[in-house]
Amino acid sequence: MKKVAFFDAKEYDMRSFDRYNTNYEIKYIKQKLSPQTAYLAEGADAVCVFVNDIVNDETINILHKLGVQLIALRCAGFNNVDVKAAYKKIHIVRVPAYSPYAVAEHAMALLLTLNRKTHKAYRRTRDFNFNIDGLQGFDMYGKTIGVIGTGRIGKIFINICKGFGMNILAYDLYPDPNLDVQYVTLDELLSQSDMISIHCPLTPETKYMINKNTIAKMKDDVILINTSRGAIINSRDLLEALKNGKFRGVGLDVYDEETNIFFEDYSDTIIEDDIITLLIAQPNVIITSHQAFLTDEALANITQVTLKNLDQFFEGGPLDNQICYRCQDGPVRFECSTQRKERCF
């Protein structure tokens, strides 16, 4: 039976994988994968990692020396993996889509909460305070929302927005000609949108796409939502703009320095990261802890696809969801073409 070192394991991970796994001996490790913890994979044939594990060149070299053959990402994003360093050493697979509905719905939940201030109303009524002053929102019907990224999640979010009767503008480096939406330039989207929601992957082109210069192009009193990757937004610039009253509201499920913060309980600890502390302190900011994916359906899909990826690798066949350095071009860089039907090395 092949052995899998499962890093950054949470209770919900273990419940789900124990339910579906029949072929592998899984060693659950609560620590995140990093150069300092990679030795815990000794004796494993594969490692299973999540969004905040550090899979850099140093980590990969350690894993390679330990005899690890496969890095199985139980997530869609792979910006935390040094794909170049892994090439011809360790194969990489991922879960390209587990529940785009979950993430899109969470983005809308953040938007609705910020607009109608239901979180504040809940806190008031829990204290028997039924005053509604300060809870005023606006009709989203007829307003303009800008959607940055029109992949699987972005498309579903667009459909949700259509149900609200919003005007929709979209921006994507690779526009979908079959999508019934008005594509515009990024500058046009930023300047015309009452609300903006980010649904693009983190790439060299999108890193810190939202910064002091692009924020300045947005309307005053705009609502900004990010359920994609934290480093798409420069958090320092965002905080400065919040202090200057630029935003009506900001909803974040991700944060650019979340690796050592999210998914852990620090309720009795002083957080050393001043930026996130100040962001949370803003009255018009809601931060959730990278939970947009967390639904029953998503967890089941993550588990089943990850196990299928493992089966494909150890059975010696082609890998449907492989990521490799050889594949440079396409809408998803490093994602192998489905036409190839062969391993990259």
Tokens 């509201």 -> residue: 249
- What are the Cα distances from residue 305, in Å, to 74, 176, 271? 8, 26, 35
Is 297 a residue of the active site? Answer: no
The pTM of the full predicted model, rounded to 2 decimals, is 0.89
Q: Comparing C-alpha atoms, which of 335, 345, 339 is closest to residue 152?
A: 335
Rounded Cα distance between 224 and 139, Å, is 16
Largest Cα–Cα distance in the chain? 65
What is the spatial order of strands in the sheet that 195-198 belongs to? 182-183, 167-171, 144-148, 195-198, 222-226, 247-252, 285-287
Residues of the chain with pLDDT under 50: 330-331, 338
Rounded Cα distance between 240 and 246, Å, is 9
Burial label for 35, CB within 10 Å (0-12, 13-18, 19+), is middle
Six-digit token pair at 156? 């579903």
Q: Are the CB atoms for 292 and 253 separated by under 8 Å?
A: yes
Q: Which of 229, 257, 297, 335 is catalytic?
A: 229
Report the SS3 class of residue 275: helix
Q: Which of 258, 333, 340, 343 is catalytic?
A: 258
Q: Give the per-residue pLDDT at 341.
A: 62
Radius of gyration of the chain (CA): 21
Report the SS3 class of residue 190: helix
Share of the chain above pLDDT 70, in %: 95
Q: Give the per-residue pLDDT at 323.
A: 87
Q: Which of 91, 199, 248, 290 is catalytic?
A: 290
Is 124 a residue of the active site? Answer: no
Is 229 a residue of the active site? Answer: yes
Residue by residue, DSSP assigns 72-130 as EESSS--TTB-HHHHTTTSEEE--S-S-HHHHHHHHHHHHHHHHHTHHHHHHHHHTT--
b/e 70-92 (16+ beta carbons within 10 angstroms → b): bbbbbbbbbebbbbebbbebbbb
Question: Domains of the chain (ranges plus CATH)?
Answer: 2-98+296-323 (3.40.50.720), 100-287 (3.40.50.720)
Cα angle for residues 133, 134, 135 (degrees, 5° grid): 95
Rounded Cα distance between 72 and 92, Å, is 6
Q: Give the per-residue pLDDT at 97.
A: 83
Cα angle for residues 139, 290, 267 (degrees, 5° grid): 105
Q: Estimate to the nearest angstrom the gap between the alpha carbon of 239 and the chain centroid.
A: 20
Q: Comparing C-alpha atoms, which of 168, 118, 117 is closest to residue 141?
A: 168
Q: Comparing C-alpha atoms, which of 155, 107, 91, 111 is closest to residue 312?
A: 91
b/e 267-303 (16+ beta carbons within 10 angstroms → b): eeeeeeeeebeebeebeebbbbbbebbbbeebbebbb
Tokens 């029949």 -> residue: 22
Q: Give the per-residue pLDDT at 328.
A: 53
Can you state the angle between helices 100-116 and 118-126, rounded to 10 degrees?
60
